[in-house]
Copies of this chain bind each other. A is one copy, B any other.
Amino acid sequence: MTSVTSGSGRTLTDLFVEAAKQALDESGVDKIDSLYVGNMMSGFLQNQEHLGALMATALGREGVPAYKVEGACASGGVAVNAAVKAVLSGLEEIVLVGAVEKMSGYTTPEVTTGLMMAEDRLKVASTGVTFVGLNAMIAREYMSKYKVGHESLAQFPVLCHQNGLDNPKAQFRRKIEIQDVLESPLVADPLRLLDCSGIGDGAAAILLAPRDVAKKFTDSPVEVAASTVAGDTLSLYQRPTTTTFEASRQASDRAYKQAGITPRDVDLLEVHDAFSILGVMALEDLGFAEKGAGTGLLDEGECARDGRVPTNSFGGLKARGHPVGASGLYQIAEVALQLKNEAGKCQVPCAEVGLTQSVGGIGSTVAIHILRAM
């Protein structure tokens, strides 16, 4: 993983190559069979597509099959899903998956328009609503339906900032209190600045291979016990309720079946907390709390690193940062480090099973991965 930063002026290629070289160097892998690149916004922001060939060339591996995989903010998650299928197909053995996003260096209208590419341009973006605005509507309905106060939701970013303090690659390494969230500038009522992830640049990369091949390169391989994707309607207005992401439920249900486990077996979670409300909803939709009771886990400290379900142990989207198309791969890399006991100051005790949730758009695409120490 690269550090998540803003304003460094580094290009898409700079970022991607740093992460991919790190993955190759640390693993000792020389020959790769293919490359998958997760990214959401390069066409719009950088006027650059064909990231497969661009990044393969920049890595000096221009012969390999390479292409880009996109699922809005879940691009990192779906890129890994595509790569998992490539390995399972038997056609490719050692596969490099990287994801990258560069969001800084553009005007706010540019980035806002870029993010709204995850929603329906003709029917929804055209109304003028922003991506934060849509999430604010969810927060409003959730707070009203379940009688949950903003101060309860605010525990999520507070937790993330606490965890991010120990992650040298985190974008925001600053402790915050609930009061800071409640008093931060209003962005889209009820969401305030500290409810929202920021604008950042970053890249992450991993290597996938069949179990027996992976064991040749490391003493602590991590098993992909499940890789699933589920969808929902593209737009919020098309759904009966906004306070559950049905795609999260379906993708995680399928993932638990694939891995042969239940939520009780999960030792750590990386959830897609682009906004505080999404972090809380994830705890519920993934099966760790009843609907409306997600904040209870936070009240009781169960999501802290020494809690029952350590969540976003490297800081999550809020504090580690959310370079959108890359975040899903940061989550997977972070869980892998935890299971390998290489998470440094972010290490949680005795984790053997970790789950990542990568969300595209307003819960319209969800990729779930369950990783297990081998």
Residues of B within 8 A of A288 (CB): none
**Does A277 lie at the interface of the complex (its beta carbon under 8 Å from any beta carbon of B)?**
no
Cβ–Cβ contact A66 & B232, under 8 A: no
Query: Which of A37-45, A171-179, A186-194, A291-299 faces chain B?
Result: A37-45
Segment 57-109 of A: residues with Cβ below 8 Å from B: 57, 62-72, 78, 81-82, 84-86, 88-92
Query: Hey, which chain B residues are within 8 Å of A84, CB to CB?
Result: 89
Question: Which of A113-121, A206-214, A329-337 lies on the face that meets chain B?
Answer: A113-121
Tell me which residues across on chain B come within 8 A of A119, comparing CB atoms: 50
Copies of this protein in the assembly total 2
Q: Which residues of B contact A71 (CB under 8 A)?
A: 50, 52-53, 66-68
Residues of B within 8 A of A66 (CB): 71, 229, 231, 365
CB-defined contacts of A63 to chain B, threshold 8 Å = 230-232, 246-247, 250
Stretch of A134-142, A233-241, A300-308 at the chain-chain interface = A233-241
In the complex, which residues of chain B have a beta carbon less than 8 angstroms from the beta carbon of A121?
A: 46-48
Once the chains bind, are A228 and B361 in contact (CB under 8 Å)? Answer: no
A50 CB → nearest B CB, Å: 4
Give min CB distance, A38 to chain B, whole Å: 10
> Which residues of chain B have C-beta atoms less than 8 A from A118's C-beta?
49-50
> In whole angstroms, what is the CA distance A116 to B49 when docked?
9
- Report the minimum CB–CB distance from A215 to chain B (whole Å): 21
Closest to A92 in B: B85
Q: Mark A328-364, 1 if CB is under 8 A from B, else 0.
A: 0000000000000000000000000000000011001
What separation, in Å, do the CA atoms of A62 and B366 have in the docked complex?
12
Q: Counting CB contacts under 8 A, is A56 at the interface?
A: yes
CA distance A48 to B121 in the complex (A): 6
Q: Is the beta-carbon distance between A62 and B231 smaller than 8 angstroms?
A: yes
Partner of A89, one of B57, B65, B88: B88
Q: Report the minimal beta-carbon distance from A353 to chain B, rounded to whole angstroms.
A: 20
Q: Complex formed: what's the CA distance from A234 to B48 in Å?
A: 12
B78, A67: Cβ atoms under 8 Å? Answer: yes
CB of A358, distance to nearest CB on chain B (Å):
11
B57 touches A234 (CB 8 A): yes
Chain B residues, CB < 8 A from A68: 69-71
- CA of A238 to CA of B63 in the docked complex: distance in angstroms? 13
A91 surroundings in chain B (CB, below 8 A): 85, 88, 227
Q: Does A289 contact B (CB under 8 A)?
A: no
Considering the complex of A and B, which 10 residue pairs feature the smallest CB-CB distances, nearest first? A43-B43, A65-B229, A88-B89, A53-B364, A49-B117, A85-B89, A50-B72, A67-B71, A68-B70, A48-B121
Chain A residues engaging chain B, CB cutoff 8 angstroms: 11, 13, 34, 40-44, 46-54, 56-57, 62-72, 78, 81-82, 84-86, 88-92, 113, 116-122, 125, 227-235, 238, 246-247, 250, 360-361, 364-365
- Other than A50-B364, A85-B89, give 16 A-B pairs with Cβ distance below 8 A: A44-B44, A49-B117, A50-B119, A52-B70, A53-B232, A53-B233, A53-B234, A53-B360, A54-B234, A65-B229, A66-B231, A67-B69, A67-B71, A67-B78, A67-B81, A85-B88
Interface CB pairs A-B, < 8 A, 27: A40-B49, A41-B49, A47-B121, A48-B120, A49-B70, A49-B117, A50-B70, A50-B118, A52-B78, A62-B234, A62-B364, A63-B232, A63-B246, A63-B250, A64-B230, A65-B81, A65-B231, A67-B69, A67-B78, A67-B81, A67-B229, A68-B71, A69-B69, A69-B70, A69-B82, A82-B86, A88-B90
